[in-house]
Chain A
């Protein structure tokens, strides 16, 4: 069955620390991969996406993610987090032959000033 696994449920970092959030998906076919961010009280916003090509993709606000096909992973990274990055982060995939998103359970990131 299709699923997304996010390894960390809660992450607490100090400002300027580096961030890496793990994401693994389970699906036998070709997928399109996404990271969404949900700031407190707000809607989901797209951070970055991967469809094909260079497995290292850059998104908004200094975020990047690397697709490693052999590991079915799409980890999110940021070299230096800011207090404003405090939010919930969701990894998701959309199968090439499917009609819906599959979301992970989310990672809550708290950045301490």
Chain B
């Protein structure tokens, strides 16, 4: 079965650079969620999109932005990167017509290292 795809899997950036992470949800899933998991920490919800509109916002810094495109893939744009942004960023997808927000399927994550 198709799963959530994220690219790139690993990314190394320097401070003050920008980064773009991509998430491709499971086919026919209409909702995408972004999470940040720092080293040894629990996943923190950043932002979610439903049908290309932002549906909820968590602890996403103002330096970050995200959007969902017409093909339902989503991109997380991160600017002015800081050392503290080093983390595993993973997205999840779900379908409101099948399972709703409780049935989230998680991607493998993008490991971002800021040096």
Chain A interface (Cβ within 8 Å of chain B)?
Answer: 4, 32, 34, 36, 42-45, 49, 51, 90, 94, 99-106
The verdict on B65 contacting chain A, using a C-beta distance below 8 Å, is: no
Most buried by A among B43, B44, B102, B109: B43
- Residue of B43, B101, B107 touching A94 (CB-CB under 8 A): B101
A103 to B59 alpha-carbon distance, docked (Å): 13
By a CB distance below 8 angstroms, the chain B residues around A49 are 102
Question: Do B108 and A43 have beta carbons less than 8 Å apart?
Answer: yes
Contacts of A4 in B (CB 8 A): 42
A90 near B106 (CB under 8 angstroms)? no
- Please report the C-alpha to C-alpha distance between residue A99 and residue B48 in the assembled complex, in whole angstroms: 9
28 intermolecular pairs with C-beta atoms under 8 Å apart: A32-B102, A34-B102, A36-B106, A43-B4, A43-B90, A43-B106, A43-B107, A43-B108, A43-B109, A44-B43, A44-B90, A44-B106, A49-B102, A90-B43, A94-B101, A94-B102, A99-B48, A99-B55, A99-B101, A100-B48, A100-B56, A100-B58, A101-B45, A101-B104, A102-B45, A103-B42, A103-B44, A105-B40
Q: A36-B106, A102-B45 are in contact. List 18 more A-B contacts (CB 8 A).
A: A43-B106, A43-B108, A44-B43, A44-B90, A49-B102, A51-B102, A94-B102, A99-B48, A99-B56, A99-B101, A100-B48, A100-B56, A101-B43, A103-B42, A103-B43, A104-B42, A105-B41, A106-B42
Nearest CB on A from B59, distance (A): 10
1/0 per residue, CB under 8 A from A, across B82-112: the answer is 0000000010100000000110101111000
Q: Are B43 and A100 in contact (CB under 8 A)?
A: no
Tell me the dominant secondary structure on chain A's binding face: strand
**How many angstroms from the CA of A36 to the CA of B105 in the assembled complex?**
11
Give Cα distance in the complex from A43 to B101, angstroms: 18
Q: Which residues of chain B come closer than 8 Å to A45, judged between CB atoms?
A: 106
**Chain A residues whose C-beta falls within 8 Å of the C-beta of B102 in the assembled complex:** 32, 34, 49, 51, 94
